[in-house]
Structure 1
């Protein structure tokens, strides 16, 4: 009799524990599927306010806010070529309430900052890619003081007179910097890099003849090219641009296999739940289909590039060894 009572209590206790355990699963699922349920979403931009990346991030945040019916605020955490803000996001909970808006230095900057030491963050492991937003080519332009009309002529002069041709960039590790370093490496020429704290001062020095070359976004240099104040030689993308259809690509003009594009994308901390990743990617893709975003991107000479999180991750994984090899071989270090 006592044994039956004890067994009955055990059975009741086991059943109660089983029920409690089962009840936990719907709660976890709802916490994911109901996202965003409460609170404000932060989108971290690791660059200064007013830059083109910041402007685009605010437009994307505004559009996503409307689609998600959730407040999204853009917060700038600049410094160290984007590393400070990016590292901040890597250390946040993967709950969908902290996002990162980044561009090409996402991959190169931590390698340059770290040197031979531990990376401040691992672009391939510490983040969940949400989706790529857009890509844009760069335009290689030279000073009018330089009497060359093609990229091949420029490279021939640089090869004949190593370390006599200088080029400017928006800073060490910027896409302007890395694009020209890759060109130098593939074309076997040696150029002098002059980093600035932004592209504006570099363009001023190019116009004044104090620099010989820059690789820059089309909107930033095309007005000068059209006005005859600098000369365009080639475009860095894999295909020609409708904005300069007669201008060859670098690969066509002189360096087969060369291709570099500026890109923008959105990330979250690693281990973001799959349903939140998919929801964000879906809403982002829908936003990129709107005519207003196409118009905004066109001002940057960019085109939309909606891809899946998995494809975006594959792109990151493919770019990591390419830039690591270049950084090591060119001895690129933080200034």
Structure 2
């Protein structure tokens, strides 16, 4: 792959206008293919992601791969335009030139950019999908590209990704109930926060009522960054609980989906129980029983009652 006169050393500050004059490519996009030189210019600005509640960009732990969030500000990102230019850069005979936002160009209001090196898409796992809020605060799917440096690259500790890279195998470990360090993105502000608080308070009441030494599972699926945390797990009974702050049909459906999702990663497979603030409708009890999930609900002044599913193997 010819460099076509590339003469900018790594570690150089290079503004967009100067880069345009020397190597082509448009001015404002985060991913800018050049029609004059065989390059795709990739601009990382971690502060921008942090402003919206996420930041995947940066080096992985051992600094062998640079993670880069694809373009698309509203809704699910699509594999087109700049994102496709990154994915297909080798087939198009282009190099990926990565820049990181670094201060302001003196005498202007324009951001400066640090050139950190020439990269290529990682062949084994070129990207993975993550969830992140868009500019409207709505949760959506984004591409996180995995870029491997060619030859020398400019590596700094300050440019390390705050999220880290994906794991090749699923990991599931037991942690204390209070260990819930996973980043979360709320798409509905106060309502989501209220729901989480109700669930947490319900778990605390049930924990106090039973006196059981509950723990929780921390599950990190293969190919994903973010860990999943279950609500409560009774290790002695091998029983997994998911709590919901309301007994609406949507809440029960979500709880069923979460329990079935978690159970796939736990060995041996646990019994499943949905913890609710009051008794759900008979139809929802039938739904839970049909998929082999117990229902534990709170009865004010009396404690908690349990409805087990009908006998049979629902797993």
Using the size of structure 2 for normalisation, the TM-score is 0.25
Structure with the bigger percentage of strand: 2
Structure with the bigger percentage of helix: 1
